[in-house]
Amino acid sequence: MPKNARKGALWAYLDAVGVLEKGTEEEIKVAKRAYWKQYILNYRRKQRTDKPEFIVWLSKKNGDYFKIFISAKQHKMAMTTFLRTAALAYVNKTFIVPDRLQLAELKQLLSNSLNEIQSIVKQKERYFWGKEQKFKDIEKCIEKLETDLTKKLEQPNTLEELILNEIEKEPALREHLLAFLNSYDNKNQIT
């Protein structure tokens, strides 16, 4: 093996242990395993100090698991990402955007309206009534924006539409929901 390939920490360890010069192939393999075991142990120790992790138990009986599962799916996040984001949002007194697509649509509406208004303002008018027409065009643009925003915000998808959309995207969700509803019915039956 070329000498320049032996410059890493592994080779320094093997050299310090003395298996490179005197050891057999089997001893070198054992020394490499010991090095990597120690390396991974130190890496994980460092990770725990830099990024502490917590274990959260969610009960399926209480429905906690399914609440988090459904909320994470609504926010289009993995469950662990959702839990982390939700906890930080709660602490920071902010909220998680439930539908990023809707938010993107709203941003697009605002951007389109701004562009339209800017193009109206940039037009040069020759006569006085040209200014009046600009103001009317800007007013129409703002009214259209208001109508579109109101429609998006006041008429969101119903829960049924959201569930159907999610089931279309991930058919396994249907079985989870049915199991949840059946367990809820069985738990809350009146005898």
Q: Are residues 41 and 79 in the same domain?
A: no
Judge contact between 163 and 176, C-beta under 8 A: no
What pLDDT, on the 0 to 100 scale, is given for residue 190? Answer: 47
Q: Are residues 105 and 150 in the same domain?
A: yes
Q: Are residues 88 and 181 in the same domain?
A: yes
Which residues span the domain enclosing 141? 100-155
What pLDDT, on the 0 to 100 scale, is given for residue 163? Answer: 84
Sign, CA dihedral 36-39-43-44, equals: positive
Q: Is residue 142 included in any domain, yes or no?
A: yes
Last residue of a domain, one of 50, 69, 88: 50
pTM: 0.43
Last residue of a domain, one of 19, 34, 50: 50
What pLDDT, on the 0 to 100 scale, is given for residue 128? Answer: 63
Cα 86 from Cα 99, distance rounded (Å): 14
Q: Is residue 181 included in any domain, yes or no?
A: yes
Q: Is residue 23 included in any domain, yes or no?
A: yes
Q: What is the mean pLDDT of the chain?
A: 81
Q: Is residue 166 included in any domain, yes or no?
A: no
Q: Are residues 113 and 81 in the same domain?
A: no
What pLDDT, on the 0 to 100 scale, is given for residue 32? Answer: 92
Q: What is the number of domains present in the chain?
A: 3
Q: Are residues 135 and 175 in the same domain?
A: no
Q: Are residues 105 and 145 in the same domain?
A: yes
Distances (CA, A) of 142 to 121, 124, 138, 145, 149: 14, 20, 6, 5, 10
List the chain pLDDT tens, one digit each, 191 residues: 545 455 688 888 888 888 888 888 898 999 999 999 999 999 999 998 998 888 889 888 988 999 999 988 888 889 999 999 999 988 888 778 776 677 777 788 888 888 877 777 777 766 666 777 777 888 887 888 777 777 766 666 667 877 888 888 888 888 888 888 888 776 665 44
Q: Are residues 91 and 184 in the same domain?
A: yes
Q: Are residues 92 and 180 in the same domain?
A: yes
Q: Is residue 63 included in any domain, yes or no?
A: yes
Judge contact between 66 and 176, C-beta under 8 A: yes
Cα 31 from Cα 166, distance rounded (Å): 51
126-171 confidence digits (pLDDT tens): 666 677 777 788 888 788 877 777 776 666 666 787 788 888 888 8
